[in-house]
Every structure is written in C-alpha cells, then in structure tokens.
Chains A and B, each alone.
Chain A
Amino acid sequence: MAKLNMVKALNLALLQEMERDEDVVVIGEDVGVDGGVFRVTEDLHRKFGGKRVIDSPLAESAIIGTSVGMALYGLKPVCEIQFSGFAFQCFHQIENHAARYRMRTQGRFHCQMVVRMPYGGGVRALEHHSESEEQFYAHIPGLKMVIPSGPRNARGLLVGALRDPDPVIFFEHKALYHAAKEDVPDEIEALPLGRADVVRHGRDLTIIAYGAMVRVAREAADTLASEDGAECEVIDLLTVSPLDRETIVASVQKTGRALVVHEAPKSFGPGAEIAASIVEGAFLSLEAPIRRVTAYDVPFVGFARERATVPDVGRVLAAARETLAY
C-alpha cells in the first residue's frame, strides 16, 4: 500500500500490466524518454525500451491508426493523445475503425486498445488544452468511455481497460493528476468497466457526476447535509459508456430527485442520456424535473472566463436546492 497521486497510480497500472503482458505497448508523443508531458509514462521507456514504449512522430491519426493495426495483429496498444483537444485529428481512426473492426469482421478481428487522453479545465491552459469532449466518444457504438475520479479508481480502471477486449477511451482530468493522494494497494487491482460507484448514500436527491465533477458533487452534498439537512446520494459513473443505468435508476427510485453534473457542454451531452434513462426507468418516482449543471453551450471561452462556465459547488448547490424545493 502506498500513498499515490493519480499520475503515479496510472503509472503503476501501466508498469504492472506491462510486466505481466508482453503484448502491452505504449505509444504517443513524448511518452518515451520524456515520460509523457504529465509523466504518466515515466520510467517505462527505461524499463521496457523504445520498441515497447514508442516515441511516435507527431501525428495523432497515425498514432491511433498504427495502433489499430497493432491491435489487429494481437498487440494491446496504449495510446496517449497529449491533450483530448487534439483528438479530432484521429477521431476518424477511432470512430471508423477502432470501434467498428469487431463488427465489420463479425468477430474475426477486434481492437483491444486503450486511448488515454488528458481532458478538462481548471489548469489555466490555452485553447484545445481544457475542453471536455467525452460526449463524442460516449455516443459511438463499439467503444467504451471511462473517466476515473481519483488515484485508486484511476489505477483500477486503467488495468480494467487494458484487459477489456473492446477499445476504451480513457479520459484523465488534468486537475486531478496532482490534486490528492490515496492509498493504492501494491498488488494489481482491476476494476470492471460499466459499473458506477455510489460514493455517498442519501435519500433526498441523487447527484450523478464523474471525473473532476465528483469532488464538486460531494462538496455540495456535504454542504446540503450540514446547512439544509438534506441527504444526497452521489454516484460516480466511472464508466460513462456503457452507462450503468441500473445504479442510477435504483437511486432515483429511492430519492425521487436527480441532478447531473458534467464539464461538457449541456446540449446533447451525457446529462441528456442520463436524464432520459431516469425518465425511462424511474418516471413514477420523480418528484421534480431532472436538472443538469454543465458547461454552457459555447466554444472554448479561455481560462480567464473558465470559472464562469465549468460547474462549481455554488452552481450545484443552487440547482440542488431548487430541485429539493420543487
């Protein structure tokens, strides 16, 4: 057991899986000698060499495209896209090929690969370095979309993703990389994909969040408990897609009220799918309209204005109080 931040926890997952399975290779820009711009792949190049930890030329499409080829051959590539904002240059390789090869070949081939991407705001970064684009991947059949919220589940989910036979988009929130340390067991821990975690139990309101928004949701829930006497249930999705509807619906059947928090823009975002799932599964339990607290539907605003659009505790509190009072 060691106290690790999310960077070190992710690094541990890669290290242990690479020791266990020779088919796991790492590829991306600056992932080798430099250890990645966020140091998630630190030391792997030294331990496993340049054939397994590949400093690729600077081209997102070929990073994913060649990884698709490696996966078709039977390797298990872990690709790093340096910032999720650059992934549109490889979006076609993800959508047209990684997600579809199993279907296209009726199971003859599949792409066991993980595409890691740092995402999210709050780090005073330039355009294309702060966005939250999970909705694009969550919408694609054949893909899985995973977003951890802390060091321990980041490690477990990355191991789970590496062992999952389907292609996984793995978002890592930049603001979480160094935000906290948690106890992470020394022995390999794999979390199954597709399962949400109820991180706070309550009977009055269900708050659904993932990634960096889990902390925001929990803080709001603590305030509501102490100031309003309301007990919120907080669900950390962990896997955005496939969505764990069962856990969400069971919670809302109990609380009758739901609030979704995400950093992606509102319209057509994950909140819409979650709200629809609640209506389909818990309509008769609902006591109030389902609320969404999300970024506004505007393109990148620049970090000078970012705090006004990324959901914070105050916005969640206000929406929660309206929902509770409805």
Chain B
Amino acid sequence: MPRTPLEPRFTVEYLSILDSDGNLDSALEPDLSASELKRLYRAMLLGRRLDERMVRLQRQGRIGTFAPIKGQEASQLGSVCTLRPTDWMVPSFRETAAMLWRGWPIEKLLMTFAGQLEGTQPAPDQHDLPITIPVATQLPHAVGLAYAAQYRGDDVVVMAYFGDGATSEGDFHEALNFAGVWHVPVVFVCQNNQWAISVPLKKQTHSRTIAQKALAYGLPGLQVDGNDVLAVYAASKEAVDRAREGGGPTLIECVTYRLGVHTTADDPTKYRSEEEVREWERKDPLTRFVEYLRKKNLLEEGLEQQVDAEIAAAVKRFEAMAPPDVLTMFDHAYAEKPPELLAQRDELAGRLRGPDDAGSAPEPPSSPPMRGQRKTSRWQN
C-alpha cells in the first residue's frame, strides 16, 4: 500500500499590514475610526511611558522586581482592544499595557510590584484574572472560564496571554488540547518576544513557528507581526468574533521583541548582542504607528505630557498610601479562619501592640535591596 497524503493539508499564515518601514497594505487595513486609532495610540504611549517609569522606580528602590513590556505594546493592545468589558482577560506577568486597557489603575500595578496583595485584587465588576507568575499555568484557567461561560450560556470570550517560553510547558499543550476538544471561546495570544530570559526561541522549540502548534490540537493558528498594531488587531478581531459565534479557540502568535530586560533583576548583555536589540528597535511598534497616524493627521499635541502627568499623579497617590495593615494577611487564607489561624493572628496582634500593650507598632525590618537596585553596591553584578 502506498503512503497517501491526508486531507486537509495544513497551512500557517503570516499577517502583516503596516511594516517597519511604514508601508501599508491598504487592502488589509482594518476599519478603525479616528477616535479608536487615537485611543489605541494613547494606550500604547501610556504603556511605554509607565513601563520606563516603573523600571526607574525599581532602580530607586520604590517598587520591587518588575517585568517590563517595552516593545510589546502593539501585541498587547492590538489584541486586548478587541474584547468587550464582559469578556475575560487572563494575563501572565508581562501584560501591563493590556491591564491598563482593561481598567487596572496604575496604582494597583505599582502595588503589585511593591509586594502588596491589594494590587492583584480585580475590581468587583472587572472580568480579569490577576497576574500569574508560574509560566503557562494560567492557560487552563482561561479554558475553564470559557467552559463555565459556555455552560451558563453567557456571551463571553476569554483572551489569555503568555510568552514563547510558555509553549514548552505542559500546561500550554493541555490547555490548547482541552480548548479544542471542548470547542470553547478562548483566544490564546502568544507574545513571542524571542527570549525566555536568556534562552532564545531556537533553543525553546524546533518548530518553524509557534502558530503551527495550534494545528496539532485542531485549532487555527496564525502568525502576525506583533509590532504591527493593525495586524494584531485584525487577527484578534477575527479570532474573537469567531469565538463569539461559536467557532471555537484560536492561537495567535505575535512576533515581537522584548526591548528591555526580562525583569529588573536581569542583565541581557550576558546573552544577546547590542546589534540584535538595535535591529528590533528599528521595528519599534510605536514608531511606525506614529507615522501612520501622522499621515492621517491624528496625532495629538501634548499627548506625552498628558500621559506623564497621569503617571506622576498615580505614583504620588501610590506613595501617599498608608502601608498595608499586616494583620489582614489572615483574612483571605480561608473564608473563615480556623482556630489555629485565629491564634496566630492574636500572636501577631500582640507582638504589634508591644510588651507594654500601649506602644505603637515596632518598625518593620527594612528589606534587603533587590538585585538591580541602585541603592547598594553589595548586590550589584
């Protein structure tokens, strides 16, 4: 018996609409209104400026370790902007721009990276999960949310974010497999930023693309220029609409680049060249979008100052906050505190009151400086 090719043959497409030289494929240009385009650009700029500010705040010891997004603004905003508030967004830990779009206040993002759990508390009406740090483990949650929405008959799409490194994790494969079998409304958005800390994509996978991994699970997979906000938008809109109409899940691979450090504790000069970074800086998602808007006469005067003022005001509010009440650490371990936890709470409360039962709380010991912080010489490397 001869070997016979199976049908259908699979293909993976690559989508680019606005390239790094500013060339526009007007046949594919998405139908976004002037106000939508302006809002998108403002969000990209806010994402960029806040990111740079947060790196500086970390260096000054005013927040802890932070994972910057610089270079990935188009991947995040082109996708997240296709969601409705009633849809769900499931981030990893490098989605600051997407989270801002979804209504997370800047203060909460600062609190998150300042080690305060209040920062990872979504608002009561907000359909977002908080950041998830163990890589890829949030992807099954997205599938479960979508299953539950479908079970209840709710009109909901779930969008889940992760990086190229996550595609090596079992949870990525299990999530895509379950999503395919259950045919649930999930859009998986991979921000392939080329580097999982120091490990480049070619050591992460032998696949030609990440998008093609979807095919093994019976889902459509599409690769897009992740620095082209129009292409990311078009691909995401298509996937979200399909999911909403019962067409099931999609994997979108946004080819992008992490222009900054993995986290503020990382030193990328150890593993990648300046030339490579400069090459990607040439493909900066903001630069080409600015040119696109300029041609449409949609650039607003003074936008940078506006955005910076918004950030400065939020930093001010964040730093004016009273330190968190440590006793509340016992409040959310369980719905009701077991007796042993009540005893532990009492023990801490007594310690905070001090031996004379009247003094103020003792000064908490200052935390040692973190790697990457400027304050110290001991931890520099």
* A residues at B contact (CB < 8 Å): 25, 51-52, 56-57, 59, 61-62, 64-75, 77, 89, 92-93, 96-97, 102-110, 141-142, 144, 164-166, 194, 242-243, 245-246
Contacts and interface: CB of A to CB of B under 8 A. Distances in A.
A102 B122 contact: no
B338 A65 contact: no
B120 A104 contact: yes
Nearest to B181: A57
Nearest to B338: A242
By Cβ-Cβ distance, the 5 closest A-B pairs, closest first, are A69-B144, A65-B140, A73-B148, A242-B338, A66-B144
Given A105-B121, A141-B333, A97 B175 contact: no
Given A65-B171, A65-B175, A105 B144 contact: no
B240 interface: no
Given A106-B332, A107-B331, A57 B177 contact: yes
A108 B140 contact: no
Interface string B84-99: 0000000000000000
Contacts of B146: 69
Interface of B: 117-118, 120-124, 129-130, 132, 134, 137, 139-149, 151-152, 170-171, 174-175, 177-178, 181, 331-335, 338-341
27 contacts: A59-B177, A59-B178, A61-B140, A61-B171, A62-B174, A65-B137, A65-B171, A65-B174, A66-B143, A70-B144, A70-B145, A72-B129, A72-B144, A72-B145, A73-B149, A73-B152, A74-B148, A75-B151, A77-B144, A89-B170, A93-B137, A97-B141, A102-B333, A102-B334, A103-B333, A106-B331, A242-B338
B174 A61 contact: yes
B141 A165 contact: no
A69 B141 contact: yes
A264 B67 CA distance: 41
Nearest to B158: A69
Contact of A65 (B117, B121, B124, B139): B139
A110 B117 CA distance: 14
B200 to A, nearest CB: 26
Contacts of B148: 69-70, 73-75
B117 A92 contact: no
Contacts of B137: 65, 92-93, 96-97
A75 B147 CA distance: 10
A102 B337 CA distance: 13
A165 to B, nearest CB: 4
A52 B152 CA distance: 11
Contacts of A107: 121, 331-332
A88 B141 CA distance: 18
Contact of A69 (B122, B123, B145, B333): B145
B140 A51 contact: no
Nearest to A89: B170
A228 B177 CA distance: 61
A93 B142 CA distance: 13
B113 to A, nearest CB: 14
Contacts of B124: 108
A35 B168 CA distance: 34
Contacts of B341: 242
A25 B151 contact: yes
B144 A68 contact: yes
Contacts of A25: 151
A22 to B, nearest CB: 9
A105 B130 contact: yes
Contacts of B339: 242, 245-246
A243 B335 CA distance: 16
A245 B152 CA distance: 41
A62 B175 contact: yes
B183 to A, nearest CB: 12
Contacts of B143: 62, 65-66, 69
B150 to A, nearest CB: 8
A57 B178 contact: yes
Contacts of A105: 120-122, 130, 332
A70 B151 CA distance: 10
**Max count, chain A CB within 10 A of own CB: residue among B117, B118, B335:** B335
A105 B130 CA distance: 7
B141 A106 contact: no
Given A72-B141, A105-B120, 13 more contacts: A64-B140, A65-B139, A69-B144, A70-B151, A71-B144, A72-B144, A73-B144, A103-B333, A104-B120, A106-B117, A106-B118, A142-B334, A165-B335
Nearest to A105: B121
Contacts of A96: 134, 137
Contacts of A66: 140-141, 143-144, 147, 175, 178
A178 B123 CA distance: 48
Nearest to B150: A51
Given A25-B151, A104-B117, A107-B331, A69 B140 contact: yes
Contacts of B140: 61-62, 64-66, 68-69, 93
Nearest to B329: A103
A250 to B, nearest CB: 13
Nearest to A106: B121
A106 B331 CA distance: 8
Contacts of A72: 129, 141, 144-145
A68 B117 contact: no
Nearest to B126: A108
B331 A65 contact: no
Contacts of A73: 144-145, 148-149, 152
A126 to B, nearest CB: 23
